[in-house]
Structure 1
Amino acid sequence: MATETDSESTTRDSARDRLLAAAEALIYAGGIHATGVDAIVRQSGTARKSFYTHFESKDALVAAALDRRDERWMNWFIAGTQRHGNTARKRLLGMFEVLRDWFASEDFHGCAFLNAAGEIASAEDPIRIVARKHKERLLEFVRAECDAFAIESGMDARHAAQLSRQWLILLDGAIAVALVSGDADAALDARAAADMLLEAPAAKGRPRNKPNTPLTTKRTAT
C-alpha cells in the first residue's frame, strides 16, 4: 500500500511530466518565444505553483522538455532504421523512409532541435546545448552505420567519418525542405542523393582501373 509520502511524490512527478509534455507540444508547434508559461500551465492541467516547484525558469522547462524529446525521438528513429534491413546500406537508406513517414504525419513541424537552436542566440544557452547534444547523438548513430557500411563494402575506413557528416546534412536538409515545402517526398530526393553518395566514397576504397594505353612493342633488329 502506498504511503502518504509515496502518493505525494507520485503526484509531484505526474505534475512535472504533464508540464514537460505540455511544453514540448506547444513549443514544437508554435516556438519557444511564442509560448508563454501560462499557456503551458493551462495545457498541463497543473497549478502555476507546480511550475515553480519543478523548474527555476521557462528556459529550464524548455531544456528539460527538449531533453525528454531527444530520448524519445532517438529511440523511435533507431528502431525505425533497424526495421529497414539487415545490411548497413539498407539501414542507411532506410533512414529516409523513416523520415518520409514522419514528414507525412499531421504533427510534423520540422526538427524541434533545429527550430529551438534558431531561436536561441547563445551557443552556451542550456537549450542550445540540448539541441547540440541531440545532433551529436544522431551523428554517433549514423557514424556506427557508416562504419558498418565501410566493412561491408570495402570502402576505405577513413571515409566513414566524412560520410557520416555528409549523411547528417542530408537528413537535416530533407527535414528543412519538407518543413518549408510541405512535400514529404523531400525524403526521397535526399535518399536518391544518398544512394549516389554511397557509391562515390566506396569507389575511393577500390583500386582504380588504369586507363587503356596503346600497347607498344619493341622492334627487333632485322
Structure 2
Amino acid sequence: MATHTRIEEAAAPGPRERLLDAAEALIYAGGIHATGVDAIVKQSGTARKSFYTHFESKDALVAAALERRDERWMNWFIAGTQQRGGTSARKRLLGMFDVLREWFASEDFHGCAFLNAAGEIASAEDPIRVVAREHKERLLAFVRTQCDEFVAQANVDERRAARLSRQWLVLLDGAIAVALVSGEPDAALDAQAVAQTLLDAQSSGKPNTSANSKASRQSSSKPPPARRTAI
C-alpha cells in the first residue's frame, strides 16, 4: 500500500505541468488577452511564486503551453489519419476530414489554438506567433508526405505534390474556421467533398497530351476577359 502511494505521488504533475495545463485550458477557451496570470495560477492550484520560478512571463508560459499542445495534437492527428487510411494515401488524405469532424463535434472544440493565438499577436517574431507558424509548417510537412505518396500511387506527376499539399492545408484550416464560427461539425464533410474533387482532378489531368498543351498555349495568348469592378 505504501509503495502504491509513492508511485501515485511520483506520477502527480508538478507545479510547472499544472501551470501549463491551466494556461492551455483557459487560453484555448477564452483567449490570451482575456486570461490573466492570476486566473492561471488559481486554476493550477500552485503559488504565484511557482509561476515566476518556471516562466519569465505570461507569453513564455503561453508559448510553452502551445509547444506542448502542438506535440499532442500532431500525434493525435497523425494516428487518426493512419487509422482511417491504411496503405492508401488517398484514403488517408480524405480521412483527415473525418478526424477533424470528430474533433468539431466535441464539447471542448474552440477552433485551432494556433490560429487563435496568432490572431491575437501582432508581431510575426513574437514567440507565440513563432510556435503557431511552426505548428502549421509541421502540419504541412505531414500533409506533404501523404501527397507525395498519393501522386506516386496514382501515377501522377510528382511535381503536383507540393501545390496539392498547400491546397490541402487551406482546406483543413478552412474547415476548422467554418466549424468554429458556424458550430457545424459537417463543415469537415463539406471540405472533404471539395478535397475529393481536387484529388480526382489530379488523376484525370494525367498525362498531358500535345492537344492539351496546344490549347493551353492558345488560351494563354488570348487577353483576359474584362473584369467587373467590385462594389
Q: Same fold (TM over 0.5)?
A: yes
Q: Provide the rounded CA distance (Å) in 2 between the counterparts of 1:30 and 1:165.
A: 29
What SS does structure 2 have at the residue aligned with 1:198?
Answer: helix
Corresponding residue for residue 83 of structure 2: 83
CA RMSD of aligned residues (A): 1.7
| Mapping for residues 143-182 of structure 1, pairs under 5 Å | 143-182=144-183
Distance in 2 (CA, whole Å) between partners of 1:190 and 1:82 is: 19
- Name the aligned partner's letter for residue 41 of structure 1: V
In structure 2, do the counterparts of structure 1 residues 36 and 175 end up closer, same or farther at CA, with 3 Å as the change threshold?
same
> Given residue 115 of structure 1, which amino acid in structure 2 is its aligned partner?
N
| Correspondence list, 1:10-89, <5 A | 14-86=14-86, 87-89=88-90
Over 3 Å counting, the alpha-carbon distance change for 1:156 and 1:19 in structure 2 is same
Q: Separation in 2 of the partners of 1:179 and 1:25? A: 17
Change in 2 beyond 3 A, CA 1:12/1:81: closer
Structure 1 residues 118-168: Cα deviation after superposition (integer angstroms, max 9, x where no partner): 000000000000000000000000000000001000111001000000000
Distance 2:210 2:184 in 1: 41
Shift of residue 203, structure 1, vs aligned partner: 2.8
Q: 1:108 aligns to what SS in structure 2?
A: coil
How far apart, CA to CA, are the structure 2 residues paired with 1:35 and 1:175? Answer: 23
1:12 Cα deviation from its structure 2 partner: 11
1:182 deviates by 0.2
- SS at 1:83's partner residue? helix
Distance, in Å, in 1 between the alignment partners of 2:12 and 2:130 is 27
How far off is 1:23 after superposition? 0.2
Aligned to 2:7: none
**What fraction of aligned residue pairs are identical, expressed as a percent?**
75
Q: Unaligned regions of 5+ residues in structure 2, if any? A: 1-9, 213-231
Cα contact 2:85–2:93 (8 A) shared by 1: no
- Does the residue aligned with 1:134 lie in a helix, a strand or coil? helix
2:148 counterpart letter in structure 1: D
Distance between the aligned counterparts of 1:12 and 1:79, measured in 2?
A: 27
The whole-number CA distance in structure 2 between the counterparts of 1:11 and 1:195 is 45
Please tell me the residue identity of whatever aligns with 1:188.
Answer: L
> What's the CA shift for 1:75?
0.2
1: CA distance, partners of 2:80 / 2:164: 21
1:133 aligns with 2:151: no
Matched, 1:98 2:103: no
Q: Which amino acid aligns with 1:197?
A: L
Q: CA deviation at 1:209?
A: 9.1
Kindly tell me: are residues 167 and 36 of structure 1, through their superposed partners in 2, closer, same or farther at Cα, counting changes over 3 Å? Answer: same
**Structure 1 alignment gaps of length 5 or more:** 1-9, 212-222
Distance 2:210 2:13 in 1: 65
Inter-CA distance 101–13: structure 2 relative to 1 (3 Å threshold): closer
Provide closer, same or farther for how the CA distance between residues 195 and 203 of structure 1 changes in structure 2, counting only shifts above 3 A: same
Counterpart CA distance in 1 for 2:159 and 2:23 is 42
Structure 1 residue 207 displacement after superposition = 3.9
State the distance in 1 between where 2:12 and 2:125 align: 30
Q: State the TM-score, normalized to the length of structure 2.
A: 0.84
TM-score (norm 1): 0.88
Q: CA deviation at 1:117?
A: 0.2
Which residue matches 2:112?
111
Contact 1:89 1:149 survives alignment (8 Å): yes
For residues 192 and 69 of structure 2, the distance between their equivalents in structure 1, rounded to whole angstroms, comes to: 25
